[in-house]
């Protein structure tokens, strides 16, 4: 989307915009929010990552009615889903489906500004290899970003990478790095960012707290 009323649309990596779509007579039922997937490069062009949800009035309108040149009103930027300023952190970016959108923006921003966190783990869960959004781009980012590890996993297809859900992956990393969750420095210097559907986030929060992390180490962006 291009915002023609301004030359520079300023936002922070991790924020979202809310679109006003003509899908309901009540104003409060018209708004749909989407994370910005592009780099905050100072231009007036942003990229949104939207899946067609069967029966969903918002995405149905976007896919069937919008075309190049269509005009949509939006609010934004909004949200406070930001990476920490403290670079002495291990970052766990956990997502499913289009939940990868804010993390792509964050990673592109980290690359552009040459921010050097201790480690960044992107753990991305989806059903099949065909659903691995930005797959080649994330593989290339592994080569460009120091200490960045891209860890996709598939729940319904066997392949050369991880299979199953996202949770065992970060649990294994944490157990290995913390000597069985006894290293208090590790629990203090790790942050978890979670983006995706409600039940994945609820499950992740419980599992992360069970490993000894408190709520302040966990941030999330809920979809649906």
pLDDT in tens, 208-222: 999 989 999 999 998
Q: Is the pLDDT of residue 25 over 80?
A: yes
Q: How many CB atoms lie within 10 A of CB 138?
A: 21
Claim to verify: residue 111 and residue 204 sit in the same structural domain: yes
Q: Is residue 214 a part of any domain in this protein?
A: yes
Domain count within the chain: 2
Give the domain range for residue 20.
16-78
Give the strand order in the sheet containing 16-20: 31-35, 16-20, 73-78
pLDDT of residue 188: 76
The per-residue pLDDT for range 126-184, each reduced to its tens digit, is 999 999 999 999 999 999 998 999 999 999 999 999 999 999 999 999 988 765 444 55
Claim to verify: residue 106 and residue 67 sit in the same structural domain: no
Q: Is residue 164 a part of any domain in this protein?
A: yes
Claim to verify: residue 136 and residue 169 sit in the same structural domain: yes
Q: How many CB atoms lie within 10 A of CB 123?
A: 26
Claim to verify: residue 115 and residue 195 sit in the same structural domain: yes
- Average pLDDT (21-36) is 92
DSSP SS3 for 96: strand
pLDDT band at 223 (very low <50, low <70, confident <90, very high): confident
Claim to verify: residue 132 and residue 213 sit in the same structural domain: yes
pLDDT of residue 132: 96
* Tokens standing for residue 49: 């990552």
Claim to verify: residue 128 and residue 185 sit in the same structural domain: yes
* Tokens standing for residue 190: 């790790």
Cα–Cα distance, 148 to 150 (Å, whole number): 7
* Tokens standing for residue 95: 């997502």
Listed residue (185, 183, 181) closest to 209, CA to CA: 181
Claim to verify: residue 53 and residue 103 sit in the same structural domain: no
Claim to verify: residue 216 and residue 118 sit in the same structural domain: yes
Does this model's pTM top 0.75? My answer is: yes
Q: Is residue 1 a part of any domain in this protein?
A: no
pLDDT of residue 83: 95
pLDDT of residue 224: 60
pLDDT of residue 54: 87
Q: End-to-end distance of the chain based on CA atoms, in angstroms?
A: 22
pLDDT band at 112 (very low <50, low <70, confident <90, very high): very high
pLDDT band at 10 (very low <50, low <70, confident <90, very high): very high
Please state whether the peptide bond connecting residue 184 to the residue before it is cis, i.e. omega within 30 degrees of 0: no
pLDDT of residue 180: 45
Residue 141 CB contacts under 8 Å (≥ 6 apart), including other chains: 107, 111, 148, 150
C-alpha distances out from residue 197 to 96, 136, 182, Å: 7, 24, 30
CATH number of the structural domain spanning residue 162: 3.40.50.80
Cα–Cα distance, 40 to 44 (Å, whole number): 9
Claim to verify: residue 106 and residue 36 sit in the same structural domain: no
Claim to verify: residue 31 and residue 118 sit in the same structural domain: no
pLDDT of residue 182: 45
């Amino acid at each position: 989307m291009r915002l023609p009323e301004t030359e520079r649309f300023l936002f922070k990596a991790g924020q979202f915009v809310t679109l006003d779509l003509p899908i309901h007579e009540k104003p409060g039922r018209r708004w749909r929010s989407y994370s910005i997937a592009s780099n905050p490069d100072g231009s007036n062009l942003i990229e949104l990552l939207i899946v067609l949800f069967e029966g969903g009035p918002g995405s149905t309108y976007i896919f069937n009615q919008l075309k190049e040149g269509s005009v949509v009103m939006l609010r934004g930027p909004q949200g406070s889903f930001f990476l920490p300023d403290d670079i002495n952190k291990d970052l766990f970016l956990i997502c499913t489906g289009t939940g990868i959108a804010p993390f792509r923006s964050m990673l592109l921003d980290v690359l552009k500004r040459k921010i050097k966190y201790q480690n960044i783990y992107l753990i991305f869960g989806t059903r099949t290899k065909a659903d691995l959004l930005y797959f080649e781009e994330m593989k290339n980012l592994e080569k460009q970003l120091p200490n960045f590890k891209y860890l996709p996993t598939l729940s319904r297809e066997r392949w050369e990478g991880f299979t199953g859900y996202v949770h065992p992956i970060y649990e294994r990393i944490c157990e290995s790095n913390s000597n069985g969750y006894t290293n208090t420095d590790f629990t203090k210097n790790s942050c978890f960012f979670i983006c995706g559907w409600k039940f994945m986030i609820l499950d992740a929060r419980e599992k992360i707290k069970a490993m000894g992390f408190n709520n302040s180490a966990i941030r999330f962006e809920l979809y649906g």
